[in-house]
Amino acid sequence: MRPTADSATRKGLAPPEARSSWLIVLVGFMGAGKTSVGKILGQRLGWAFEDLDDRIQAREGRSIEQIFQESGEAEFRRLETAALRDLVAELGCASRVVALGGGAFVQPENARLLEQSGAHVVFLDGSADELFRRCQQEQKSRPLRRDARQFRELYDQRRPFYLTAALRVDTDGKDPDTVAGEVTCSLGVL
């Protein structure tokens, strides 16, 4: 589904007749729910969903953790930018929801690429304490999640970049379905 011309204009979005496709990109710190919310958004809208980290892992034939361990963060960031560039180039006429890794939007080249693509960047925000708690409950390995102090320092470094997104949605105390509903209402896509 696409927004009506009236709701798209009101929200500052291009009316659907002016766009061949939509790209909604979810950004935020680890534990914010980008993948969970992205899957729900994709289902609700009938659009493809992609997690950029999954694309990187498939291309490299290794996990994110292995890339960090074997090649370092700088190489991972290079691979991340290349994957994002390819994803944007593939957009064509098919609308898509994409979840970025926590550090992707912090990279100036990636932020510029998304701005140039016309993507609707949505910051899924949450307090550092809640995000750390969520990450501890997961069985997922996160190369940059260490102790609570280091987690908060990284969160504090990245948050100003996330705040440049066009839309901010608070995730504290909310399930992914509720957050997805707030995103669709705020963007006017349902």
- Which CATH number applies to 21-187? 3.40.50.300
DSSP-derived secondary structure for 75-137: HHHHHHHHHHHHHHHT-TT--EEEE--TTTTTSHHHHHHHHHHT-EEEEEE--HHHHHHHHHH
pLDDT of the residue at 105: 96
The pLDDT-based confidence of 4 (bands split at 50, 70, 90) is very low
The pLDDT-based confidence of 140 (bands split at 50, 70, 90) is low
pLDDT of the residue at 138: 67
Domain segments of the chain as ranges: 21-187
pLDDT of the residue at 15: 41
